[in-house]
Structure 1
Amino acid sequence: MTIDADGASPVERPEAAVETLRYSAFTRDPAGGNPAGIVLDAAGLDAAAMLAVAAQVGYSETAFVTDRDDAARRFRVRYFSPLAEVAFCGHATVALAVALAERLGPGEIVLDTPAGEIPVATEKGEDGAVLATLTSVPTRSRPASGAELDATLAALGWAVGDLDPALPPHVAFAGNDHLILAAASRARLADLDYDFDGLAEVMRRHGWTTVHLVWRESAERFHARDPFPVGGVVEDPATGAAAAAFGGYLRALGLVTAPARITIRQGEAMGRPSDLLIEVAPELERTRVTGRAVPIG
């Protein structure tokens, strides 16, 4: 390990030693979407160093490429929030895929993540910007228990009557677990003022990455908000992993007729509007999630 001239090690001053790119995913505008850090060469970093970098970057997640084969277009990736490692992150995957495609050219890439293998297709759109489509690991979904629901509603300050009975509470998985709660009205979704520490404790107890709050505008369009206190973030402006899990939820409950293409609008309340496209295909127990990403600064 090298030491900086002032005596600080890379772990103490992570960004001084590690080149970190910054991209915003699920947007065309750097001021929108969900920012992600990207480290394209993290081969020499251990978990503590990666966590230190993620904490200093301060975004909800930073993706670290720990091993790469450019010829085979295959990359081993780990994801860290400012507080902990997460098995999978959708927006950082999209950001990383776009950054790689800008350097290696568009095409198929494969990411080996702690959650499993994630294929990502990248292509240039008509405007020349890169579009990335990830295919999630197999999804699954189960009803939330009464205890899980009661504790979450208490932390959110919501009542059972605030929920849409046509979209029952579930815990859905597409690489990590997310509690899905559907608000009965857009006003309920818009009024989010929750107990940060209380919800974080509930989420840690049950192993949830986010609480995916949705409101159904139409059969093909949803609005979402994702509290992420376990990652040290009040709210995530675009959550690709939760969107993938939500696609599995819709399939499991028969709420869409596959193949289906559904748009999710997220981040508006934060001033960082984001657009996610999910595809639920009949031949796959997986969800495809599509979005753009742009460099920040």
Structure 2
Amino acid sequence: MARNYAIYDVFTDRKLAGNPLGVIFDGEGLSDEAMQAVASELNLSETVFVQPADHPLHTARIRIFTPARELPFAGHPTVGTAVALAERSHDLGTNGPLDLVSVLEEQVGPVRCAVKLRKGEAGFAEFTLPRNSSQHDFALDRQAIADALSLNTTKVGFENHVPAVWSAGVPFLLVPVHDLATMAALEFDPGLWERMAPMCDGHLTSAYVYCRGGVHHSARFHARMFSADMGISEDPATGSAVAALSGAIHQFDGLPNGHHALLIEQGIEMGRPSHIHLHIDVEDDQIARARIGGQAVRIASGILDL
């Protein structure tokens, strides 16, 4: 069967940057094993399989696979798929600028996305987190964490920020480090990480390393992500990790009530700069809602013969 697909670069407004995403538009009828095999064949950070929505008012159901396993939720697949489906369904040459809302059914639950399309520009999508970030209580060995990142323990942590496991659907061991120089110097050892990282929700937690500041003048945080469990040596942009990070930022920085707009950069060390927009609304000293957004640009399309 001929199945249409496209590849988008996500969390960027230019091609060959950001995080590449495979979108299989005709994902209905494929077995779990076949979808995993296709994701492994494409070998992108994630591949999405679009299927008919269960709810008639929702846009689509999507299944998200890394080269190694399925994910219940992920950021760059949500942004990229929302833009891809909007561009596939609407002709900007006829309709002009377009603003719409779509709902994607993911394993974590329905995810509401706002999409903006402008002729000659990369599409933009922003989604509301289906669940707020929460901390998981694990005893963590700072020395073991430092060893797995090839760092001195004095470089782990800054200000009030300490290593901790957070999740907004996908758990990550968030590791704050001192500065950009530390970020550039670290070397991830998957063997050491597998021996020390806790299991959470049935999977080994991935490493999300971050520091304050960034190469881009507007970046509030700079990040890198490594996953021995997902089959990803390093990820250029990880929206689900930024979703988890929202809880850590609120707790460690003591965000006051109000709206907080933050830019997180990732992929710099890989030569694939990515920019993830995080918005946190705090009410009564708690996160009331959080949103993640970014741009996506198509770089390829074709037919998958399966």
| TM-score between the two structures when normalised by the length of structure 1 | 0.86
**CA displacement, residues 36-69 of structure 1 (integer Å, 9 cap, x when unaligned):** 1111221101110100010011101111112238
Q: Which one is further off, 205-214 or 171-180?
A: 205-214
Output aligned runs, 1:104-183, within 5 Å. 104-105=89-90, 106-125=99-118, 128-142=121-135, 145-147=138-140, 149-163=142-156, 164-183=158-177
- Aligned partner of 2:232: which letter? V
Q: In proportion to residue count, which structure has more helix?
A: 1
What is the distance in 1 between the residues matched to 2:136 and 2:30?
39
Alpha-carbon shift at residue 149 of structure 1 (Å): 4.3
CA distance in 2, matches of 1:71, 1:241: 26
3-state SS in 2 of match to 1:259: strand
Q: 1:254 to 1:18 in 2, by over 3 A?
A: same
% identical aligned pairs? 33
For residues 60 and 142 of structure 2, the distance between their equivalents in structure 1, rounded to whole angstroms, comes to 38
> Match of 1:5?
none
Residue 57 and residue 161 in structure 1: after superposition, are their counterparts in 2 closer, same or farther (change >3 A)?
same
Q: In the alignment, which residue of structure 2 is the partner of 1:245?
A: 244
Alpha-carbon separation, structure 2, partners of 1:179 and 1:221: 20
Is 1:248–1:280's contact at 8 Å kept on the other side of the alignment?
no
Determine which of 189, 192, 196 is the counterpart of 2:186: 192
> Which stretches in structure 2 are left out of the alignment for 5+ residues?
91-98, 301-306
Query: Which amino acid in 2 is paired with 1:217?
Result: G
1:293 aligned partner: 296
Question: Take 2:87 and 2:270, find their aligned partners in 1: how far apart are those partners?
Answer: 28
Structure 1 Cα separation of the partners of residues 68 and 239 of structure 2? 19
Alpha-carbon contact 1:116-1:175 (below 8 Å) kept = no
Letter in 2 for 1:241: S
Offset, 1:265: 1.0
1:229-284: CA deviation from partner (whole Å, max 9, x where unpaired): 21111110011111111112212334333310000111110000011110001255
Aligned residue-pair number: 282
Equivalent runs, 1:61-80 vs 2, <5 Å: 61-68=46-53, 72-80=57-65
- Find the residue that maps to 1:179 and give its secondary structure: strand
Query: For the Cα contact (< 8 Å) 2:138–2:198, is it kept in 1?
Result: no
**3-state SS, counterpart of residue 52 of structure 2:** strand
Which residue identity is paired with 1:39?
I
Which gives a bigger RCO, structure 1 or 2 (Cα 8 Å, sep 6+)?
Answer: 2
What one-letter code is carried by the residue in structure 2 that aligns with 1:290? G
Retained in 2: the 8 A contact 1:77–1:112? yes
**Any conservation in 1 of the 2:208–2:241 contact (CA below 8 Å)?**
yes
Q: Residue 216 of structure 1 corresponds to which residue in structure 2?
A: 212
CA distance in 2, matches of 1:76, 1:23: 18
Higher mean C-alpha deviation, range 199-208 or range 127-136:
199-208
Shift of 1:286: 3.5
Q: 1:73 deviation in Å? A: 4.2
Does the Cα contact within 8 Å between 2:135 and 2:247 map onto a contact in 1? no
Match of 1:63, SS? strand
Unaligned runs of 5+ in 1: 3-16
Aligned to 1:279: 279
Tell me if the contact between 1:23 and 1:296 (Cα under 8 Å) persists in the aligned partners.
Answer: yes
1:9 counterpart residue number: none
**RMSD of aligned residue pairs (Cα, Å):** 2.4
